Structure 1
Amino acid sequence: MVNDLTNRRTVIAALASLPLGARAALAAEYIDLEWRDLLPKGQTAIPPVVQNLIDHDEMGTSAMQPKSSGVRTDWNGQIVRIPGFIVPIEYSGSGVSAFILVPFVGACIHVPPPPANQLVFVTTPEPYESSGLYEAVNVIGMFGTASMSTQLADIAYALSAEKIVPFSI
């Protein structure tokens, strides 16, 4: 687990290599992404309604994660905004400082996780005071591909968050 955490921090540090002032200025201009934008051309996402709830006495949800069939590199190093739901990984005080951004409520918790190319590992220098798993958020920051694994799921993307706000269109 320590190596996974070290690898994640290395990926995020590479994404966050711009000076803070430059990143903050860039955060005002971003590319709006939707979850389908993270899929290779021609691939469709697994709709949440198709993913059945599981018996928690069975194998863990990560063992039931569908295989990912590639990633998109179009937005590597770009400032993006993507909506989603927070699955906390690390806390700093009472705020979340690292989390998995997922496309629907309950992903990675109550249902098998989506494929890795439908998950984004997010870190933030300022912990976000989340109101819970049902809160939809918009995350803005530097985006890139990353191959990492947590106890909950394999993840194909990473985002160094500059701004996290409650979801709005």
Structure 2
Amino acid sequence: MTMPDRRAVLAALGALSITPSVAFGSEYIDLEWTDLVPEGQPALPPVIQDLIQHDGPDMSRQQPVSHGVRTDWNGEIVRLPGFVVPIDYSGTGVTAFILVPFVGACVHVPPPPANQLVFVTTQTPYEGSGLFEAVNVIGMFGTASTSTQLADIAYALSADHIEPF
């Protein structure tokens, strides 16, 4: 991710973080990946069969077109399960990552549409168990267009809590 892109994402996340976080009890909205796709738009197929061509164009060029976003949960505290694709580290912990709906997304298969990817940042580095760890992320959610070398991303989540799935 280029520095201006990262600054824009951090600014957008900062705007989302104006309201204080709530406790991690039941005071969050449980989201599923299908909740992020606008009504009438196709959800991801259950099995992705096309592996990327490693000697072909970069993955962001193989990303399917996204057909809109849902703004229903902008500014809300949500919990969303997914898999970690690390972007930034602090020490041995991840401080920024792409939350993806299935193992291999953005690395071994073309990335999902932008409305099926979430850019997650956390002030407390997450010490995960490795690439593609399944996690639940709880925090402030919203739409925020971001571009990385791996994919275009339509959503952002400022994580207050990350736990193994």
TM-score with structure 1 length normalisation?
A: 0.92
CA contact (8 A) 1:105 1:133 kept: no
Higher helix proportion (structure 1 or 2): 1
Is residue 150 from structure 1 mapped to residue 148 from structure 2 by the alignment? yes
Query: Are residues 1:55 and 2:43 paired?
Result: no
Matches within 5 A, 1:38-77: 38-47=36-45, 49-77=47-75
How far 1:165 moved relative to its partner? Answer: 0.2
Task: Measure, in 2, the Cα distance between the counterparts of 1:102 and 1:2.
Answer: 22
Please identify, of 81-90 and 127-136, the stretch whose mean Cα deviation from structure 2 is larger: 127-136
Partner SS for 2:53 = coil
Write out per-residue CA displacement over residues 58-105 of structure 1, whole angstroms, 9 at most, x where no aligned residue: 111111000000000000000000000000010011000000000000
Q: How far off is 1:50 after superposition?
A: 3.3
Q: Matches of 1:152 and 1:45 in 2, distance apart? A: 20
Residue of structure 1 in register with 2:10 after alignment? 9
Number of aligned residues = 163
| Stretches of 4+ aligned residues off by more than 4 angstroms | none
Unaligned 5+ runs, structure 1: none
Shift of 1:24: 4.0
Equivalent position SS for 1:36? helix
Structure 1 vs Structure 2 CA RMSD: 1.1
User: 1:31-80: CA deviations, max 9, x gaps?
Assistant: 00000000000112222523411221111111100000000000000000
* Identity score, percent: 69
